[in-house]
């Protein structure tokens, strides 16, 4: 591939899965049971290309080296394919920054390269797994077309170098998710879940749309990268090198906070954070591979990507950044509590996904380089072990004839040993047991929170971290033409109301919440493991007599992912490869982020606390569930009224139903009444006029030619009379 430039390769990553999707759609019926071939070929080729790009980028980062002050040089590669929309290119030179131009541009940087490998890699394993899982489904080609289309959309989402393109593919992944949740659309629950996911996501999408408008109003461009106009004027992109080099280039205050909060809203929708998390557990109605790929490993991390990508914007608004952490840690805790009493294996994993995404948000909110890299690190390891756990759950479901309720089976380690072993590896990684992957990423996250809660313990420059951006106000950047209103708003005090949250005591609370979540995570994970795989062997009658280990196409991806879940954390942590690689991401080289860089360290005290928390959870789970029949009395009975609260998922669905759904339904009923009675009534009334006239006039058509002639004569006479009367004056 030496003859291919990196730009071409970057375009190939999304293009190949797109071709795969188109071919699958076009040839699906012809290929029949081999319909997976174009999709898998496309994704596999994209994976190879993505790995090539990643290694190339890693060499470049290594060659660039880090400066003496830890600040890595930004590394980026921008490919502009064509201009999608352009208005006002002939604008006056003084207003050059206002010319509206939306190029279809892709940007490769360490963050994008990492995510591309994860998306195509996990996508490839899931696609291979689906050959076995979906083998006799009537919608077989449709499934692979959708998975391929999803990989395309997601690759574009992380590679796009423009907020409008990000928005487009933000919607595209949402559409793929909708189609895959509702894959078995004849099943009412699946159709309902798909609708719910789509509608809840609209709220977040609305936030992203408004944030994009505000960005355009504030910065005069939507591009990430710097662009040069025809007359040589440089338009600094929002996340371009020019603006990143300037410590005061980002707007804080009310406008900046508004943008960041809208981004947070968007991220909450897509990444299922409180209070928009309600769609993800229901999304488990979709096929398990789709849950694995979209609703665990990749799509739901789009929110993490968005916040990480816009890190410099968030740095200018410390209050918003704190809120990111608060939302994340709260979600992590609430979802973990709900997860402890779920009996549906996939739902346990769904709540665990929400909880782990909350962890990532908590880390992102710290606003330190350590926090950002920890979030992405956890994203990577989570993609491995959560995809593994979901595919293991799918393997169980496949063998149990579609039954996923953990109370109805048990002791499956004797029936399906490979699934059991790989699931255990995934569970250990999720619970954060050393030396599995989750341990290291979770340790980094806890460390980033700890550093904000106890800045003295970590010494140096944390207190200066978000303050770098705090000084930035609207209008200081020379090319930004903020309207006077916006400038006044930005100078207002609304942003600082949130800043009051940014105190060490808040961060300490968040740290303890995260640590409690770690214990709960270990508990519900191992509760699921013990209920499913230990105890007397029981198989539901739906499974028939053929409860058996899954075919190799399903177990091989499990084994690969288990290996990754086991070693990736240790490898990435010990070599510090990922963190130093990600530090060269342009967004993370902003002075506000880069100044928080800390030398790589292993935090023994935190590791011990985390391990103790995990051990506590596992021990409690073992006491309650190890070796017991999973349909017997459960530990939940000790929770008392709390069990009702957890089992009803904190009544979120009921509250939404009462506050939003029911009033809306009332309005809809009223609207329907007005439509049927008033508007339809009017239309029908008008329709009755010709009928009424016709019923009278109809009698004139007697079929008697003499009458017609008489009518003609009378008419002529009338005309003549009228003419004569006029002539007579």
Partner 1 sequence: MTMNLLADVVAPAPLVIDGLLVGALLFALGLVGILARRNLIVMFLCAELMLQGISVSLVSWSRHHGDWGGHVLVIFVLTVAACEAAIALVFVLQAFARTGRLDAAAWQSLRESNLPRTIDRELPSIDTVPPKFPKLAPAGVEPPADEDALLEREHV
Contact residues toward partner 1 (CB under 8 A) are 698-699, 701-706, 709-710, 713, 724, 728
The DSSP secondary structure of 232-265, one letter per residue, reads S-EE--TTSHHHHH-TT-S--HHHHHHHHHHHHH
Find the shortest distance in angstroms from Cβ 727 to partner 1: 9
d(CA 153, CA 175) in angstroms, rounded, equals: 10
Indicate the DSSP class of residue 7: H
Tokens of 40: 């898998």
Closest CA to 11 of 102, 108, 114, 84: 108
Backbone angles phi, psi at 344, to 5 degrees: -90, 120
**Beta carbon nearer to partner 1, 30 or 696:** 696
d(CA 340, CA 639) in angstroms, rounded, equals: 11
**Beta carbon nearer to partner 1, 87 or 697:** 697
Which helix H or strand E contains 116, and what residues bound it? helix 110-133
**Beta carbon nearer to partner 1, 493 or 701:** 701
Residue the block writes with tokens 């060499």: 59
**Beta carbon nearer to partner 1, 68 or 698:** 698
Find the shortest distance in angstroms from Cβ 715 to partner 1: 13
Closest CA to 46 of 105, 117, 129, 130: 117
Find the shortest distance in angstroms from Cβ 701 to partner 1: 4
**Beta carbon nearer to partner 1, 655 or 713:** 713
HSE value, Cβ hemisphere, 13 Å, CA-based, for 123: 39
Maximum Cα–Cα distance across the chain:
118
Residue the block writes with tokens 């919608």: 139
**What is the three-class DSSP state of 183?**
coil
**Beta carbon nearer to partner 1, 685 or 727:** 727
**Beta carbon nearer to partner 1, 637 or 699:** 699
**Beta carbon nearer to partner 1, 29 or 726:** 726
Find the shortest distance in angstroms from Cβ 697 to partner 1: 9
Find the shortest distance in angstroms from Cβ 728 to partner 1: 7
Strands 77-87 and 234-235: unpaired
Find the shortest distance in angstroms from Cβ 723 to partner 1: 12
Indicate the DSSP class of residue 658: I
Q: What angle do CA 42, 43, 45 make, to 5 degrees?
A: 65
**Beta carbon nearer to partner 1, 670 or 711:** 711
**Beta carbon nearer to partner 1, 684 or 695:** 695
d(CA 291, CA 391) in angstroms, rounded, equals: 9
Find the shortest distance in angstroms from Cβ 690 to partner 1: 15
CA dihedral in degrees (378, 384, 387, 389; nearest 10)? -90
3-state helix, strand, coil in the chain (%, to 5): 70, 5, 25
d(CA 181, CA 506) in angstroms, rounded, equals: 38
Residue the block writes with tokens 């391990």: 611
Residues 430, 352: contact at Cβ < 8 Å? yes
Find the shortest distance in angstroms from Cβ 721 to partner 1: 10
Residues 239, 309: contact at Cβ < 8 Å? yes
Residues 6 or more apart from 204 whose CB is under 8 A from it? 265, 266, 267, 268, 269, 270, 276, 303
**Beta carbon nearer to partner 1, 245 or 709:** 709
Find the shortest distance in angstroms from Cβ 684 to partner 1: 22
Residues 6 or more apart from 338 whose CB is under 8 A from it? 351, 646, 649, 650
**Beta carbon nearer to partner 1, 642 or 709:** 709
**Beta carbon nearer to partner 1, 640 or 729:** 729
Find the shortest distance in angstroms from Cβ 704 to partner 1: 5
Environment class of residue 690 by beta-carbon count within 10 Å: exposed (0-12), middle (13-18) or buried (19+)? exposed
Find the shortest distance in angstroms from Cβ 692 to partner 1: 15
Find the shortest distance in angstroms from Cβ 693 to partner 1: 14
**Beta carbon nearer to partner 1, 30 or 700:** 700
Residues 6 or more apart from 218 whose CB is under 8 A from it? 251, 255, 256, 259, 474, 480, 482, 486
**Beta carbon nearer to partner 1, 686 or 724:** 724
Tokens of 626: 């190890």
> Which residues face 223 on adjacent strands?
162
Q: End-to-end alpha-carbon separation of the chain, Å?
A: 99
Find the shortest distance in angstroms from Cβ 707 to partner 1: 9
**Beta carbon nearer to partner 1, 674 or 697:** 697
**Beta carbon nearer to partner 1, 230 or 724:** 724
Residues 620, 614: contact at Cβ < 8 Å? no
Find the shortest distance in angstroms from Cβ 709 to partner 1: 5
Find the shortest distance in angstroms from Cβ 689 to partner 1: 19
Residue the block writes with tokens 């979120």: 652
Find the shortest distance in angstroms from Cβ 184 to partner 1: 52
Find the shortest distance in angstroms from Cβ 687 to partner 1: 20
Environment class of residue 254 by beta-carbon count within 10 Å: exposed (0-12), middle (13-18) or buried (19+)? buried
**Beta carbon nearer to partner 1, 26 or 710:** 710
Find the shortest distance in angstroms from Cβ 710 to partner 1: 6
> Which residues face 77 on adjacent strands?
108
d(CA 710, CA 650) in angstroms, rounded, equals: 85
d(CA 188, CA 181) in angstroms, rounded, equals: 12
d(CA 169, CA 178) in angstroms, rounded, equals: 14
């Amino acid at each position: 591939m030496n003859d291919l430039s990196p730009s071409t390769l970057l375009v190939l990553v999304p293009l190949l899965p797109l071709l795969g999707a188109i071919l699958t759609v076009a040839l699906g019926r012809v290929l029949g049971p081999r319909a997976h071939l174009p999709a898998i070929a496309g994704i596999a080729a994209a994976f190879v290309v993505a790995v090539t790009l990643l290694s190339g980028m890693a060499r470049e980062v290594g060659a660039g080296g880090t400066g003496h002050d830890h600040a890595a040089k930004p590394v980026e590669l921008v490919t502009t394919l064509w201009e999608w929309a352009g208005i006002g290119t002939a604008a006056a030179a003084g207003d050059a920054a206002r010319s509206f131009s939306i190029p279809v541009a892709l940007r490769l940087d360490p963050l994008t390269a990492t995510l591309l490998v994860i998306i195509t890699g996990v996508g490839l394993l899931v696609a291979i797994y689906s050959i076995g899982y979906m083998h006799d489904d009537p919608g077989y080609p449709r499934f692979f077309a959708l998975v391929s289309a999803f990989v395309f959309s997601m690759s574009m989402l992380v590679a796009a170098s423009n907020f409008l393109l990000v928005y487009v593919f933000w919607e595209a992944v949402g559409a793929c998710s909708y189609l895959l949740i509702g894959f078995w659309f004849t099943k009412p629950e699946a159709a309902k879940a798909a609708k719910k996911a789509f509608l809840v996501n609209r709220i977040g999408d609305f936030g992203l749309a408004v944030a994009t408008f505000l960005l355009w109003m504030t910065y005069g461009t939507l591009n990430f990268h710097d662009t040069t106009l025809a007359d040589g004027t440089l338009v600094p992109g929002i996340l371009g090198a020019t603006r990143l080099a300037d410590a005061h280039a980002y707007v804080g205050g009310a406008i900046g906070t508004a943008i960041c909060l809208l981004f947070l809203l968007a991220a909450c929708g897509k990444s299922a954070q409180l209070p928009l998390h309600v769609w993800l557990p229901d999304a488990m109605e979709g096929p398990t591979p789709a849950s694995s790929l979209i609703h665990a490993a990749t799509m739901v991390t789009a929110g993490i990507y968005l916040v990480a990508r816009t890190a410099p914007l968030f740095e200018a608004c410390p209050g918003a950044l704190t809120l990111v952490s608060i939302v994340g840690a709260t979600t992590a805790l609430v979802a973990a509590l709900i997860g402890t009493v779920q009996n549906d294996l996939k739902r346990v994993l769904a709540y665990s996904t929400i909880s782990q995404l909350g962890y990532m948000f908590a880390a992102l909110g710290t606003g330190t380089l350590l926090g950002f890299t920890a979030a992405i690190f956890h994203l990577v390891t989570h993609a491995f072990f959560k995809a593994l756990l979901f595919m293991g759950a799918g393997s169980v479901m496949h063998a149990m004839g579609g039954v996923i309720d953990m109370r109805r089976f048990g002791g499956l380690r004797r029936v399906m040993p490979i699934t059991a072993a790989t699931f255990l590896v995934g569970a250990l990684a999720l619970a954060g047991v050393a030396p599995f992957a989750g341990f290291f990423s979770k340790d980094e996250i806890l460390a980033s929170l700890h550093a904000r809660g106890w800045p003295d313990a970590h010494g140096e420059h944390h207190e200066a971290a978000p303050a770098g951006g705090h000084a930035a106000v609207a209008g200081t950047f020379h090319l930004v033409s903020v309207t006077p209103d916006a400038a006044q708003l930005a100078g207002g005090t609304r942003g600082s109301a949130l800043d009051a949250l940014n105190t060490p005591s808040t961060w300490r609370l968040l740290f303890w919440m995260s640590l409690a979540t770690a214990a709960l995570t270990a508990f519900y994970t191992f509760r699921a493991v013990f209920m499913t795989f230990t105890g007397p062997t029981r198989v539901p009658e739906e499974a028939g007599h053929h409860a058996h280990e899954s075919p190799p196409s399903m177990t091989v991806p499990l084994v690969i992912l288990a290996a990754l879940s086991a070693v990736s954390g240790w490898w990435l942590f010990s070599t510090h490869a990922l963190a130093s690689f990600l530090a060269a991401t342009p967004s993370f080289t902003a002075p506000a982020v880069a100044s928080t860089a800390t030398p790589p360290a292993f935090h023994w005290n935190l590791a011990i606390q985390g391990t103790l928390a995990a051990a506590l959870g596992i021990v409690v789970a073992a006491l309650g569930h190890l070796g017991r029949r999973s349909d017997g009395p459960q530990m939940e009975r000790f929770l008392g009224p709390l069990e009702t609260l957890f089992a009803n998922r904190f009544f979120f669905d009921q509250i939404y139903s009462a506050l939003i759904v029911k009033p809306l339904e009332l309005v809809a009923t009223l609207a329907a009444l007005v439509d049927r009675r008033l508007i339809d009534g009017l239309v029908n009334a008008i329709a009755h006029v010709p009928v009424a006239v016709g019923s009278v006039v109809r009698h004139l058509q007697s079929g008697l030619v003499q009458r017609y002639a008489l009518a003609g004569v009378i008419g002529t006479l009338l005309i003549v009379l009228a003419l004569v009367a006029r002539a007579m004056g």
